[in-house]
Structure 1
Amino acid sequence: MPIIVNLDVMMAKRKMSSSELAEKIGISQANLSILKTGKAKAIRFSTLEAICKALDCQPGDILEYSEKA
């Protein structure tokens, strides 16, 4: 998929665990794992907004487009 998810990178930069982020944004750890691994087919804007708020980042810090992926 040409969309690369860098959620794990931002979590590491903010020193936040998966369980902590999942709790802050109100989703299960299983769904967060699906997002982190890039296996999700879609993401709600409300979820993306919650992630950006929790990690103090921009959507472009988490999502990246690459034709080579």
Structure 2
Amino acid sequence: MPILVNLDVMLAKRKMKSFELADKIGITVANLSILKTSKAKAIRFSTLEAICAALECQPSDILEYKKE
């Protein structure tokens, strides 16, 4: 898949655990895990906005496009 999700990188940079982020943004740890492993087919803008606010980052810090 040409879209990479760098959520693990941002969590590590912010020294935050997955369950902490999930709690802050109001989604389940299981759904956050689906996002982290790039298995999600879509992401709501409201979820992306909440992640960016919680991690104090830009969407481009989380999502990356790479040609296959």
Following superposition of structure 1 onto structure 2, how do residues 30-69 of structure 1 map, counting pairs within 5 Å? 30-68=30-68
Instruction: Please give the alpha-carbon distance, in whole angstroms, between the structure 2 residues aligned to 1:10 and 1:18.
Output: 11
Instruction: Please give the alpha-carbon distance, in whole angstroms, between the structure 2 residues aligned to 1:7 and 1:18.
Output: 9
Instruction: Please give the alpha-carbon distance, in whole angstroms, between the structure 1 residues aligned to 2:62 and 2:43.
Output: 12
Instruction: Please give the alpha-carbon distance, in whole angstroms, between the structure 1 residues aligned to 2:14 and 2:49.
Output: 16
Matched length? 68
Instruction: Please give the alpha-carbon distance, in whole angstroms, between the structure 2 residues aligned to 1:15 and 1:40.
Output: 24
Aligned identity (percent) is 79
Following superposition of structure 1 onto structure 2, how do residues 7-46 of structure 1 map, counting pairs within 5 Å? 7-46=7-46
**Residue type matched to 1:40 in 2?**
A
| Unpaired segments ≥5 residues, structure 1 | none
| Unpaired segments ≥5 residues, structure 2 | none
Structure 1 partner of 2:4: 4
**Moved >2 Å (runs of 4+):** none
Q: Tell me the TM-score normalised to structure 1 length.
A: 0.97
